[in-house]
Amino acid sequence: MKDKIILFIFFFIFAETALLLPCTIFYAARNNMVLSGNNEDWSDSNTYMTFYPSETGKQGWVKFGFQSGFPQGGMNESGLFWDAASTPYLAMPYSEENKEKYNDVLMQKVIEECSTTQEAVAVFEEYYCDDLYNAQYLIGDSTGTSVIVEGDEIFGSIEDFQVMTNFCQSQYEPGNYPCWRYDTAAGMLQNSDEISEYLFGSILSETHQEGNYPTQYSNIYDNKNCLVYLFYYHNYEEYIIIDLDEELQEGYRSYHIPSLFSKIEMIYPGYESIIDSTSVTFRWEGKVNSIYELYYSTDPDFPDCVPRSSTSSHIPGYLGICLFGSIFVGTIFKRRSYLIFILILFVIFGLQSCSKETTSPSDSDTIEFTQTVEDLQPGTTYYWKLTAHPEGTDDFESETVTYSFATSSF
């Protein structure tokens, strides 16, 4: 009988843990940089990004979440970021006794009315909501301050970073946390002298989920510059850069996140490949109905680089895709080439540690594209990348990381 009780307790704990959304959220401020990151893990692939312009008494902000419209995370025009993670039920006797219950979406009130973490804490000292019985928030601002709101508890970090997953940190002794994703993210932040988009991308890659509750989208937030780097379905080879200030000027808009991406996989030449020829056939996989620009250059900034046309190797007739001019794109890459280059390493090495058994969105709408270049110089290092957008959509253009390869000296 005793064994059955123990088995029942074990099963109950396991079942409760399995139902939690395995999200990973982290924030760091170091050497004049302030960055935030999150993996949104769940079974629902209908994810959305929505822009809310400022109104009288309300800040403009971007929301990320699911079809229900309930905000899962986002950032406002002051650089105040938050994301949420589910937790086991946690009673809130202090809040019930001393605070006013807020019956609407409390985090939306915070993101629309607050500019700093200190202002957000003031709201949570006055209000509580039903969400906090089974969820917690990590909130960080552009000044380098963050807190975790966990039931009755509101606590900052004793270091220059904070990490949150799906357990209540107040219920465990430091160093004995029951989550490998927390340990991985905290360890990588602790062991790095600098923070960067590369480091945050590496953490997202290392902690992403597959299987029944895969990572549906990921974000890197630059809190100081109000930039968001959006990745879809744990593909860290392709991303969209969102300038929040610019997007909010366009008014209210909502986007189905999967429709913005072309599901690009860069095939050949691989990172740091050696080519024994003065010609190379670039190969990549992507959506059939997307328009691609291929760039290659001896300069990773791709100055004045004119993109080449692409051809499909799987569907005859899908040839000579008309590509856009490169002046505007080249300007973007000059400004952001550092991010593109540093993202290479986590794409190459970070994904190697993750298994590929997953229930993924259908790849039946992807094919292989090729483009042959004949004019390479021997003994030279080259860089290549792609930009893309699905046909008929012009609001956002996705980008890939930059791969380098070299021609042999013959």
The tens digit of pLDDT for each residue in 344-383 reads: 444 444 443 333 333 456 556 899 999 999 999 999 999 9
Q: Does pLDDT of 101 surpass 90?
A: yes
181 and 22 in contact (C-beta within 8 Å)? yes
Helix (H, G, I), strand (E, B) or coil at 327: helix
Q: Does pLDDT of 58 surpass 60?
A: yes
- Give the span between the Cα atoms of 138 and 47, in whole angstroms: 20
pLDDT of residue 313: 55
Q: How confident is the model at residue 11 (pLDDT cuts 50, 70, 90)?
A: very low
- Give the span between the Cα atoms of 237 and 214, in whole angstroms: 17
Strand partners, 64: 49, 73
Strand partners, 222: 35, 227
* Average pLDDT for 192-220: 96
pLDDT of residue 170: 93
- Give the span between the Cα atoms of 239 and 216, in whole angstroms: 13
* Average pLDDT for 71-80: 98
Closest C-alpha to 89, from 171, 185, 211, 199: 171
* Sole residue written with tokens 């890939």: 400
Q: Does pLDDT of 274 surpass 60?
A: yes
* Average pLDDT for 245-271: 97
CA 187 → CA 29, 98, 161, 184, 266, distances in Å?
15, 37, 11, 5, 30
210 and 358 in contact (C-beta within 8 Å)? yes
Q: How confident is the model at residue 72 (pLDDT cuts 50, 70, 90)?
A: very high
Q: How confident is the model at residue 392 (pLDDT cuts 50, 70, 90)?
A: confident
- With residues binned 3-state (H G I as helix, E B as strand, rest as coil), the percentages for the chain, rounded to 5, are 25, 35, 40
Largest CA distance in the chain: 79
Q: Are strands 403-407 and 273-275 parallel, antiparallel or unpaired?
A: parallel
Q: How confident is the model at residue 328 (pLDDT cuts 50, 70, 90)?
A: very low
Q: Does pLDDT of 389 surpass 80?
A: yes
What is the residue type of 128? Y
Count of all residues that appear for the chain in the document: 410
What is the residue type of 325? G
- Give the span between the Cα atoms of 242 and 226, in whole angstroms: 8
Q: How confident is the model at residue 66 (pLDDT cuts 50, 70, 90)?
A: very high
* Average pLDDT for 2-19: 39
Q: Does pLDDT of 13 surpass 90?
A: no
Closest C-alpha to 129, from 115, 147, 108, 145: 108
Considering the chain, what is the average pLDDT of its residues? 86
Name which of 49-63, 333-347, 359-373 the model is least confident about: 333-347
Is the peptide bond between 88 and the residue preceding it cis, with omega within 30 degrees of 0? Answer: no
Q: b/e per residue, 240-275, with b = 16+ CB within 10 A?
A: bbbebeebbeeeeeebebbebbbbbbbebbeeeeeb
pLDDT of residue 308: 82
pLDDT of residue 180: 97
Structural domains of the chain sorted by starting position, each given as residue range(s) with its CATH number in brackets: 22-258 (3.60.60.10), 265-407 (2.20.130)
Name which of 61-70, 222-231, 275-284, 389-398 the model is least confident about: 389-398
- Give the span between the Cα atoms of 315 and 328, in whole angstroms: 30
pLDDT in tens, 136-173: 999 999 999 999 999 999 999 989 999 999 999 999 99
* Sole residue written with tokens 């970090």: 157
Query: What are the φ and ψ backbone dihedral angles of 380, each rounded to 5 degrees?
Result: -130, 140
* Average pLDDT for 196-218: 96
Q: Does pLDDT of 342 surpass 50?
A: no
Closest C-alpha to 304, from 278, 335, 329: 329
Q: Does pLDDT of 12 surpass 70?
A: no
Q: What does the angle CA 54 – CA 58 – CA 60 come to, to the nearest 5 degrees? A: 35
Closest C-alpha to 321, from 263, 371, 363, 283: 371
